[in-house]
Amino acid sequence: MKFETILYDVQDEILTITLNRPDRLNAWTRQMLSDLLNALDHADADDNVGAIVITGAGRGFCAGADLSGGGGSTFKGAGNQPGLDELGDSGGAASRRIFRCLKPVIVAFNGPAVGVGLTMTLAADIRIAAPNVKMGFVFAARGIISEGCSSYFLPRLVGISKALEWAMSARVFRSEEALEAGLLRSIHEPEDLLPAAYELAHDFTANSRVSNAVIRQMFWRMLGADDPVVAHRLDTKGMVERGKSADATEGTTAFLEKRAAKFPDKVSKDLPDFFPWWEEPKFLEET
Same domain, residue pair 276 and 179: no
**End position of a domain, from candidates 184, 205, 226:** 205
- Give me the pLDDT at residue 63, please: 95
The number of domains in the chain is: 2
pLDDT tens, the chain, 287 aa long? 789 999 999 999 999 999 999 999 999 999 999 999 999 999 999 999 999 999 999 999 999 999 876 554 445 544 444 444 555 789 999 999 999 999 999 999 999 999 999 999 999 999 999 999 999 999 999 999 999 999 999 999 999 999 999 999 999 999 999 999 999 999 999 999 999 999 999 999 999 999 999 999 999 999 999 999 999 999 999 999 999 999 999 999 999 999 999 999 999 999 999 999 999 888 886 54
Residue at a domain's end among 174, 205, 236: 205
Main-chain dihedrals φ then ψ at residue 122, nearest 5 degrees: -70, -20
201 and 214 together in one domain: no
Nearest to 42 by CA among 96, 88, 3: 3
Q: What is the CATH number of the domain that holds 275?
A: 1.10.12.10
Q: Is 237 exposed, middle or buried (0-12, 13-18, 19+ CB in 10 A)?
A: middle
Domain shared by 161 and 249, yes or no = no
Please indicate, yes or no, whether the overall pTM of this predicted structure exceeds 0.95: no
Does residue 1 lie within any of the structural domains? no
Domain that holds residue 252: 208-287
**For position 80, what pLDDT does the model report?**
46
Indicate if 213 and 186 belong to the same structural domain.
no
Give the span between the Cα atoms of 104 and 236, in whole angstroms.
23
Q: Kindly state whether residues 93 and 194 are assigned to the same domain.
A: yes
